[in-house]
Structure 1
Amino acid sequence: MTVNISRDDLKGHLSPATITDVRHLSSYSWIKSAEEPIIAVPGIPPKWQPPMTRTQLAKDSGFQYVAQNAARHPEIPMEPLFRAIYEADPTFDVRCIDVVTDRNNLRKLLSFVDPQLTRYSPEPFAIQAEVAGKSGTVILNRVEAQTTEFIGPGQFVGYGHEFEKAYTTREIPNSTGHHRIINYNFGGLSYVVRYEADAYVDPQESVPMTDDAPEDSSVTTLTSNIDDLSLDDGMILDSGPVGSRLSIRKQGRVIPLDSTLEIKTRIVHKPISIVDMAPQLWISQTPKLVRAYYSWGLFNDVFVEDTSIMINRWELANQPALTKLAALMRLIVEVVKGLGGRCVIGYHPEATDELVIQRMDGKPMLPLYLYSKWDTA
């Protein structure tokens, strides 16, 4: 049984569609391990710390992650998200949440709603969907054909990974990726969104606002007592419930959302516009951005920008697309419930320019012990 959704089905729906009531829920860093999967909670993203001198970087090469959660924990890639939340707040009430998803899924769905919001041609994608609990929370699981890649010596894909190694410092040994989990309201639904954060900037450092912002707005006010939270030795392990392979190391410190940043590198003659980056920054409510341009592995004039004003303007300017995204998400929730609670959402532009939601059989998306969180009185 399938349901097809076209862009025309989304006209004239909810307005305005803005993100409100943003709050940080939890975070974690993956820890390199040859055996069982381990995350450090709250973990910490790499710290933005540019080198003192201009450095010639090698091109990206070797093993890289495409979707680290699925690569590290392929059996249940959504488990780290929930484990991190309940580690931070054992009383969290998931029954109040309408949609749990990765940022990547929302980026793909937004590109379907309005292909002009991306500089790339439409690409096929698939997203698994499942309804959990009587409250009807819809969980969206990212699906990738490959969760890792190997960049060979004869390939050139840029300097992005090498740039992050050179311009940031990891404060947790053997950490390989930091994920953030936030909650907000959008279009009448409550979301929990997970995404990978590239780095954080020292809250004591001044960051210039993009696009003629007032001078007194150059430093964002922090909402958490970052100085009261510190790294520990990380030797405490929570092996989790019976049947779970995922272990938690209590290590790191909470970094406020206001201090997180996204990093983007590109060759010097191809400018990175805020419009290109806006959907990604908007979905995760990431306020800061580094746009780094290279010429033969050398980077000049690299700095951190506060783009929050620009992202707010982008949100207002793109209400036609965002109201359609809000309508699409409400329709997805309704359709997945109507099709029995377990589906795959697919888009194949070469075959049809419609989103296809198909009922799916298969194993549950979460371990049994997590489903009990929806039954708690």
Structure 2
Amino acid sequence: MSLHKNLSKAPLKSLVAPLDVPSVPLEGFSTLASFSWINSPEVPTLAIPGDPPKWIEPQLPLRLPQDQGTRYIDHTGDQCEKANVSRLMPLFQSVEHCAPSFDFKELNLICNRNNLRNLLRWIEGRPKKDFRIDLHLVNDNNTLVMLQYEIEFTEYVSLGQFRGYGDNFRKKTVRFPSAQVKHNRVVTYRFGQFRVLMTHKVEAHVENRDYDDNLESLMSSLSVQDATENTTKSKIVGPDSLPVRRTADKVKEYEFIEIKTMAQRKPVDWAEFYPQIYLSQTKLLYAALHSRGEFVTIDKYKTDDLKLVEYKKSMEKSLGQLVEFLRRLVTSLKAVGNGPWALVCVEGNMTLHDSTDATLPDVILSKF
């Protein structure tokens, strides 16, 4: 398999990052919905709204082995493939439950955070890896839908393959509510001319006693058996939907944490990390520092700290370039046919291709 599966061999066009454009801030940010996955291997099932995992302060020093075994590259993609549904279904079903009056027709861009981070790295001339983003135009060509593409959803890390200590560190410091795994938030905001609906993974939230008391009461009745046998049907019904377990009436706001693990000798790579926390407006970043797997300190940053202003300015400059790139991209798509299409970035070169993949399912298109 490759990034070019089901794509035209010859690109429709090559794309370049725009230069010398005004900076653009992120505005009007709000949380719309959330979902987690029920911890059941038999039937991929959503918990809506999802409950975020809690940060558990570790005792230091803490020695951990290197990450090993099977790890997820894209958990949502994996679960949706198992259920034979579009990877957009968790987003649409969670919004339908948490914000039933939300008007999808007002959107200009639907994506996940990883899509935007990959595009921003490319715009800044520092792509982390080759990537592909599948594209659809819907809503009378007014809404661009971006879908994450992965060659594989999981990878196996064998003895001798170094992938760091991050997974094992999170196992020690993050506790999920009973029966739930992999919490995701759905947010909406604007940058430039684009009103955006975006999903992103949540790693942890800061402990709050009131929240924890409510959560323990709420989750006491949610067992794995309840989650798999006592699900409720979504308003989006049919073979393209996922079973849903309702966990609360409303989605709540929390102080979320982004967790990074790194060698003690390395400085925090704000050029890499800041776009991630900015796009999701994550309030805290915890940098866990280790020496060959022995964690000795955790540096905790408030991401609205004035010391990070220079990174915010750089981010908004790149965001202005992203807005112009997306504007040009939509114009190009309208001129080259009905789609779907794909963006493919290989060794820093971005090309646009026709795709023979299926169009979005009717259950999603009907929302526009």
- 2:253 counterpart of 1:256: yes
Please give the secondary structure, in 1, of the residue aligned with 2:177: coil
Structure 2: gaps (5+ residues): 1-10
Q: CA deviation at 1:162?
A: 0.8
The answer (yes or no) to whether the contact 1:44–1:172 under 8 Å persists in 2 is no
- Give me the whole-angstrom Cα distance separating, in 2, the residues matched to 1:172 and 1:244: 27
- Give me the whole-angstrom Cα distance separating, in 1, the residues matched to 2:53 and 2:213: 19
Please give the secondary structure, in 2, of the residue aligned with 1:51: coil
- 2:134 counterpart of 1:128: yes
Structure-1 residue corresponding to 2:295 = 299
- Give me the whole-angstrom Cα distance separating, in 1, the residues matched to 2:275 and 2:310: 12
Give, as a single letter, the amino acid of the residue that structure 1 aligns with 2:363: Y
- Give me the whole-angstrom Cα distance separating, in 2, the residues matched to 1:254 and 1:228: 16
Which 4+ residue blocks in structure 1 deviate beyond 6 angstroms?
A: none
Structure-2 residue corresponding to 1:280 = 276
Q: CA deviation at 1:135?
A: 5.9
Total equivalences in the alignment: 341
- Give me the whole-angstrom Cα distance separating, in 2, the residues matched to 1:276 and 1:122: 9
Structure-1 residue corresponding to 2:40 = 33
Q: CA RMSD in A?
A: 2.3
- Give me the whole-angstrom Cα distance separating, in 1, the residues matched to 2:105 and 2:334: 15
Q: 2:319 aligns with which of 310, 314, 322?
A: 322
Give, as a single letter, the amino acid of the residue that structure 2 aligns with 1:148: T
Q: CA deviation at 1:315?
A: 2.4
The answer (yes or no) to whether the contact 1:226–1:254 under 8 Å persists in 2 is no
- Give me the whole-angstrom Cα distance separating, in 1, the residues matched to 2:358 and 2:259: 36
Distance 1:292-1:325 versus aligned 2 partners, 3 A rule: same
Q: CA deviation at 1:228?
A: 9.8
- 2:195 counterpart of 1:190: yes
- Give me the whole-angstrom Cα distance separating, in 2, the residues matched to 1:54 and 1:139: 45
Give, as a single letter, the amino acid of the residue that structure 2 aligns with 1:11: L
**TM-score (normalised: structure 2):** 0.85
Distance 1:11-1:115 versus aligned 2 partners, 3 A rule: closer
Distance 1:311-1:88 versus aligned 2 partners, 3 A rule: farther
Q: 2:359 aligns with which of 346, 353, 364?
A: 364
Distance 1:2-1:54 versus aligned 2 partners, 3 A rule: same
- Give me the whole-angstrom Cα distance separating, in 2, the residues matched to 1:144 and 1:267: 28
Deviates more, 1:321-330 or 1:85-94: 321-330
Structure-2 residue corresponding to 1:72 = 79
Cα deviation per residue 1:143-170 (whole Å; 9 max; x = unaligned)? Answer: 1112111111332211101111101211
- Give me the whole-angstrom Cα distance separating, in 2, the residues matched to 1:293 and 1:151: 22
Identity of aligned residues (%): 25
Cα deviation per residue 1:215-238 (whole Å; 9 max; x = unaligned)? Answer: xxxxxxxxxx96896434344512
Q: 1:342 aligns with which of 340, 343, 346?
A: 340
Q: CA deviation at 1:330?
A: 1.5
- 2:67 counterpart of 1:60: yes
Cα deviation per residue 1:246-274 (whole Å; 9 max; x = unaligned)? Answer: 111112674425x0111000111122233
**TM-score (normalised: structure 1):** 0.83
Distance 1:85-1:311 versus aligned 2 partners, 3 A rule: farther
The 5 A counterparts of 1:147-158 are 147-158=153-164
The 5 A counterparts of 1:228-243 are 230=215, 231-232=218-219, 233-234=221-222, 235=226, 236-240=230-234, 241-243=237-239
Distance 1:59-1:94 versus aligned 2 partners, 3 A rule: same
- Give me the whole-angstrom Cα distance separating, in 2, the residues matched to 1:344 and 1:228: 46
Give, as a single letter, the amino acid of the residue that structure 2 aligns with 1:193: M
Structure 1: gaps (5+ residues): 205-224
The answer (yes or no) to whether the contact 1:43–1:172 under 8 Å persists in 2 is no
Please give the secondary structure, in 2, of the residue aligned with 1:300: strand
Structure-2 residue corresponding to 1:16 = 23
Please give the secondary structure, in 2, of the residue aligned with 1:17: coil
